[in-house]
Chains A and B, each alone.
Chain A
Amino acid sequence: MTKEENTANGPGRQESDISIKSQAEQNSGRDLAEEVPSPAELETLRTEYAVLQDRYLRLAADFENYRRRMAREVSEQSSRAIEEFAVEILDIVDNMERALTIEDTQNIKEGLEQIYKLLSNVLNRYEITPVECVDKPFDPETQEAIAYVPSEKDEGTVIDEVVKGYRMKERVIRCARVAVSQGKSKEE
């Protein structure tokens, strides 16, 4: 059993902090005891304080409401963004369904190629591009190594792409899964 020496949001601790401070404030107040504000001044200060306090609270509440609204809007926006993409994909689905109704296996490959082309166009429009990696030096920023095997290629060269990686604009949205060469011998 360890008693946690470091308390959490310990109210006791917090309060003592405050009381130290307020004592200090009182002391400094006493030093200036000569300058007592006039009742009129005090009244003005009170009013000003009330106004500022109210403004501060309202601003804080506004911020909270704003944050909540933004969170809601962001989630709405992101689902709308998917919507747009989904509509493009539906076109592909239509074609797949057409292909599936045809019994003739001869043309299925041609159809598949057409559909693939359509899909590639969609990806292009969204600037989704494959990460080129075979025969290049392994780069963990865009690739994940899933095998490290001896080969004729230089050590550290990507020799096989198991799963293609993709970028959307500059950002890597899926890492490529690759096999990396260990070099000719297994000494490494």
Chain B
Amino acid sequence: MASEKILGIDLGTTNSCISIMEGGKAVVIPNAEGGRTTPSVVAFSKDGERLVGSVAKRQSITNPAKTISSIKRDMGTDRKVAIDDKTYTPQEISAMILQKLKTDAEAYLGEKISKAVITVPAYFNDAQRQATKDAGKIAGLEVMRIINEPTASALAYGIDKEEDVTVLVYDLGGGTFDVSILTLGDGVFEVQATAGDNHLGGDDFDQRVLDYLVEEFKKKEGISLKNDIMAMQRLRDAAENAKKELSTVQKTNINLPYITTDSSGPKFLDIDLTRAKFEQLIEDLVDKTIGPVKQALDDAGIKAAGIDHVLLVGGSTRVPMVQEKIKAILHKDADKGINPDECVAIGAAIQGGVLSGEAKDVVLLDVTPLTLSIETLGGIATKLIERNTTIPTRKSQIFTTAADNQTSVEIHVIQGERALAKDNFTLGKFQLTGIPPAPRGIPQIEVGFDIDANGIINVSAKDLGSGNEQAITISGNKRLSEKEIEEMVNKAKQYEEEDKQNREEIEIRNTADTAVFSAEKLLRESSDKVSEDEKKKIEDAAEEVKKALESDDTEAIKTATESLTEAVYAVTVKLYQEAAAKAQAEGGAEPTSTSASEDDVVDAEYEVKDDEKKE
């Protein structure tokens, strides 16, 4: 097993984040308060207590002289922070943040942490790096490595597994902006250029929205809210929320009832903010990031076309306009999928995993690219192993026959996402014969899928009654190329609605068919207990269903099936009551099973009973 775990730490200017490898994957560790990031703020309360994180941030206004934020800006300098009669170096203050992160990680993991990988901006000089390392030491952490933040992001995206690529990392946080260009060669990331703006970030976006709201309110009501602490606080929160919302919607409403009162009564703030307006408000700020991007490209001597990957880091990169502007200069979509607030810490944890040897312990397991199914009654593809299941894995389900005295079933193994077997890709087919004659629904045929680590699929079918067994092996050469897989997945999406409808229609037909079968069985088996009148009713209803089944009218089939089920139900209830009276328990349970398949969502386990395999 791996040696001691190594904590990945993104020690940020405004916020910090920690992550660790767990079972081969980097996971973010929430802090003691439940937050996934921790404000990089330290304070000393009046009674000398040390506060770190949100608590420190919340009291800062009452205690500005003894609250320290953005200490990262002072790392590597001789600047000291004087608190009461003591002075602290930036390393010592940073250490207090690290200490809290360490403690929170230990509480979460239930084990001691003594090693860490800490990230720093790519432009940090030796003194700044050394100071960061020292901060770790003071906090009781052995800093196994200091890595660059953009490198950590590249690791989080797994870019280190590629060869000779150029990566541009655009990191727009709450209060800082960095752009870095890295090249990867021989497994080593090299920083080619960095640029940025030390005082630009999402907080500036919030301020713009806030100013706009204050101005709009003044225009409408003639009241300035600037000096109204309470109103400004509510507005500040609302502005931030509006900004976040506009990343996903085109328009949001800022609604603050009773924002203030004047002689004429209470005033309400109710302002719509469109994404377009928001973009107008922040455009110059976003444009300010473009200069550094171009600068970095120039410094690195790389043309926009030479960038292979664009990584967006920092919460503010969620703003669509930011993404659009970057795309406009680089003509490339950014890689997606990792939370931009957590990306750096995740990369640090991955580096930690490599250093601790945990990465070596992790076997790289494949996933099944497409769903594996077998064809069941009516040509439906019944899923056994869903796509993206990690292999090796096995799964089995019990199926049954679709007709009386059916002595063989065909197992048609298919791959793909479509609802009907015919629209998927056939992997193989085989017959299971020698099933002893029995009424439909009675034989139990266990179909098992087993995919080994190499992707070789073994499909077996066993008649549990006779013990007869058949199997085939589908080897890798039948496998599809990546492009084919993508096409199939896309097609499945495209035909989703149609497929669903087809499947429903088939299911309705199957249900109708089963209902008729059950009704006839009931009449056959309980003819002596059913009155002529009841018998006629059921027979007529069954006839209706059969007639409907000849047509394509699904609604008619459904209605006819319902009336048949009702007629059968009336009789079975009576039979049960009589049976109960006679304390004689046997038969009759069948008809109710037809109603089970009327539910659209059926547990796979149940579905099996209804889904019957026709030869």
User: A-B pairs with the 8 shortest C-beta distances?
Assistant: A10-B187, A64-B390, A140-B59, A144-B58, A9-B160, A140-B58, A162-B230, A61-B390
Which stretch (A11-19, A37-45, A96-104) binds chain B? A11-19
Bound Cα distance from A63 to B46, whole angstroms: 49
Interface residues of A in 1-54 (CB under 8 A from B): 1-4, 6-14, 18, 54
- Are B62 and A138 closer than 8 Å at their CB atoms? yes
Q: Is the CB of A156 within 8 A of B187?
A: no
Minimum CB–CB distance for A164 against chain B, Å = 12
B58 neighbours in A (Cβ, 8 Å): 140, 143-145, 175
CB of B187 within 8 A of CB of A61, answer: no
- Which residues, 228 to 262 on B, are CB-close (under 8 Å) to A? 229-230, 233-234
Contact with B along A52-80 (1 / 0, CB 8 A): 00101110111111011000000000000
Cβ contacts under 8 Å, A145 to chain B: 58-62
Report which of A144, A146, A175 forms a contact with B229, defined as CB distance below 8 A: A146
Contact yes or no, A9 B229, CB < 8 A:
no
Give chain B nearest CB distance to A98 CB in angstroms: 19
User: Besides A7-B188, A8-B160, A68-B388, 5 other CB < 8 A contacts?
Assistant: A8-B154, A18-B360, A141-B55, A144-B57, A144-B58
Known: A1-B193, A54-B392, A163-B234. A8 touches B365 (CB 8 A): no
A9 touches B351 (CB 8 A): yes
Instruction: List chain A residues, Cβ under 8 A from B453.
Output: 54, 57, 61
Supposing A1-B192, A57-B453, A65-B390 touch, asked if A147 and B59 sit within 8 A by C-beta, the answer is no
> Which chain A residues numbered 125 to 166 have a C-beta less than 8 Å away from chain B?
138, 140-141, 143-148, 156, 162-163
Q: Decide: B229 and A140 in contact? CB cutoff 8 A.
A: no
**Is there contact, CB below 8 Å, between B190 and A9?**
no
**How far, in Å, is A149 (CB) from chain B's closest CB?**
9
B233 touches A162 (CB 8 A): yes
Residue of B nearest to A55 (CB): B392
Complex: A1 Cα to B123 Cα, angstroms: 8
Give Cα A57 to B25, complex, Å: 16
Q: Is the CB of B146 within 8 A of A6?
A: yes
**Any A CB within 8 A of the CB of B600:** no
CA distance A9 to B233 in the complex (A): 46
What string of 1s and 0s marks CB contacts (under 8 Å) between B349-379 and chain A?
A: 0110010000110010100000000000000
For B365, give its contact among A18, A64, A143 (CB under 8 Å).
Answer: A64
- By a CB distance below 8 angstroms, the chain B residues around A12 are 186-187
Which of A11, A138, A140, A156: most chain B CB closer than 10 A?
A: A140
B62 & A180 in contact (Cβ 8 Å cutoff)? yes
**Does B191 lie within 8 Å of A1, measured CB to CB?**
yes
CB-based contact A60/B365 at 8 Å: yes
Q: Which chain B residues border A180 with CB–CB below 8 Å?
A: 61-62
Q: Is the CB of B393 within 8 A of A62?
A: yes
Give the nearest-CB partner of B354 in chain A.
Answer: A9
With A3-B190, A140-B59 known to touch, is A163 a contact of B233 (CB < 8 Å)? yes
State whether the Cβ of B303 lies closer than 8 Å to any Cβ in chain A.
Answer: no
Q: Are B46 and A58 in contact (CB under 8 A)?
A: no
Residue B151 at the chain A interface, CB threshold 8 Å: yes
Which of chain A's residues have a CB closer than 8 A to the CB of B452? 54
In the assembly, what is the distance between CA of A11 and CA of B160, in Å?
9
Those of B47-68 within 8 Å (CB) of chain A: 51, 55-62
B179 interface residue per 8 A CB criterion: no
Is the Cβ of B55 less than 8 Å from the Cβ of A140?
Answer: yes
B62 touches A162 (CB 8 A): no
Complex A-B: 8 CB contacts under 8 Å: A2-B191, A6-B146, A8-B354, A9-B350, A12-B186, A60-B363, A63-B23, A148-B61
